[in-house]
Amino acid sequence: MADRHALVTGACKGLGQYLAARLADEHWSVVGVGRCPADQVPPVPGVTYLQADLALPRTPADLSARLDSAPHLVVHCAAAYPAARPSGPALPDMEEVFRVNALNPYLLTLDLLARKPPDRFCSYVVVNSESIYSADRHSAIYAASKAALRVLTAGLAAGCRSAEASVSTLLLGPLADRAKLAEIETVAERRSLPPAEVVRLFLRRSNPNLVIDEFIDYESCFRSVRYLAELGPTANGMLCKLDGGSSGSLV
Ligand SMILES: NC(=O)c1ccc[n+]([C@@H]2O[C@H](COP(=O)([O-])OP(=O)(O)OC[C@H]3O[C@@H](n4cnc5c(N)ncnc54)[C@H](OP(=O)(O)O)[C@@H]3O)[C@@H](O)[C@H]2O)c1
């Protein structure tokens, strides 16, 4: 099975790093893309790291030209967040967030589709966020970029009909990432509470619309990516929501 090629963006850290390593565990040959220099990324067997800045206009074309093999699976996981500035949002920051989160994943997918051998099936899994349903003044720019990504993804799926490709969305709720877990540990120690109880209280307060008591774990995200890839053409246009039920009963 070593001839299955995957491309994962956002592979320096967090979920992207985890997905790249888990795909390699399962004998995928993985190219992990990230912004940080290669010497700052711990080597993972089976993962070849490529440094690329998805905020730059030329990156989608450059990146797809640098790949030795056309991928069978692409996971768009990179995400940028606007800097918090006392003076309020700045247009260049907003543009960068939209380029990394929406415009360049879209252009990269179009470029990869154009270069794909016609008989090579490829699954494109686009990681999105439940924040698109419940933006507030702090998350609005990030959420708007992810909402744009969601719409662009639907357009890609429409273009993939009969194209030996599927484009699906994996829409996630709050992840058990390192920063949140560290914060939970600190609060748990300060209040002498079990960390699981702090998570439960945190989720009830910060995301009252969610119906989960735990953060979403990386392994569940990996299993969802694998499921979307295994579905093949049936996954085209699919929205897989691992989001804590945030968008209510009718969506
Ligand atoms: N964390 C959550 O609770 C949550 C919830 C719902 C959905 N999600 C989604 O899940 C995905 C993973 O989230 P995460 O929390 O694991 O993210 P993360 O830890 O912040 O990692 C983001 C990754 O994207 C890379 N990146 C940022 N700007 C880039 C650029 N200009 N060019 C190339 N790469 C760039 C980062 O590289 P550097 O390390 O070099 O910055 C990093 O590898 C994202 O799509 C996010 O929207 C996350």
Q: What is the pLDDT of residues 101-120, one digit of tens each?
A: 999 999 999 999 999 999 99
**Is 172 close to ligand 1, i.e. is its CB under 6 Å away?**
yes
Tally of CB atoms within 10 A around 23: 26
**Averaged over 172-181, what is the pLDDT?**
96
Confidence grade of residue 248 (pLDDT, cut at 50, 70, 90): confident
User: What is the domain class of 5-175+216-242 according to CATH?
Assistant: alpha beta
**Is 244 close to ligand 1, i.e. is its CB under 6 Å away?**
no
Task: Give the phi and the psi of residue 77 in degrees, each rounded to 5.
Answer: -120, -15
pLDDT surpassing 60 at residue 1: no
* Cα 67 off chain centre by: 20
Q: Which residue in 211, 179, 185 sits closest to 198, CA to CA?
A: 185
Strand-pairing partners, residue 125, are 75, 168
Rounded distance from Cα 191 to ligand 1 centre (Å)? 30
- Ligand 1 pocket test: which of 8, 9, 15 has the largest number of ligand atoms within 8 Å of its C-beta? 15
* 54, 58, 130, 176, 244 from 247: Cα distances, Å: 29, 35, 7, 20, 9
Token duo for residue 239:
């929205």
Task: Give the phi and the psi of residue 198 in degrees, each rounded to 5.
Answer: -65, -40
pLDDT surpassing 70 at residue 85: yes
Rounded distance from Cα 118 to ligand 1 centre (Å)? 31
Q: Write down the mean pLDDT value for the chain.
A: 95
Q: Which residue in 41, 38, 39, 37 sits closest to 14, CA to CA?
A: 41
Confidence grade of residue 250 (pLDDT, cut at 50, 70, 90): confident
Residues 6 or more apart whose CB falls under 8 angstroms from that of 176 comprise: 214, 215, 216, 217, 218
Token duo for residue 98:
């939209």
Domain-by-domain residue ranges, the chain?
5-175+216-242, 176-215
Per-residue pLDDT reduced to its tens digit, 92-101: 999 999 999 9
Contact 212, 203 (CB under 8 A): yes
Helices (H), the chain: 14-25, 59-66, 91-98, 104-115, 140-159, 178-191, 195-206, 218-231
What CA–CA distance (Å, rounded) separates 247 from 251? 6
**Is 226 close to ligand 1, i.e. is its CB under 6 Å away?**
no
**Averaged over 217-236, what is the pLDDT?**
98
**Is 55 close to ligand 1, i.e. is its CB under 6 Å away?**
yes
Q: Which residue in 209, 92, 228 sits closest to 165, CA to CA?
A: 228
Rounded distance from Cα 158 to ligand 1 centre (Å)? 26
**Per-residue model confidence (pLDDT) at position 169:** 98
**Per-residue model confidence (pLDDT) at position 59:** 98
pLDDT surpassing 90 at residue 2: no
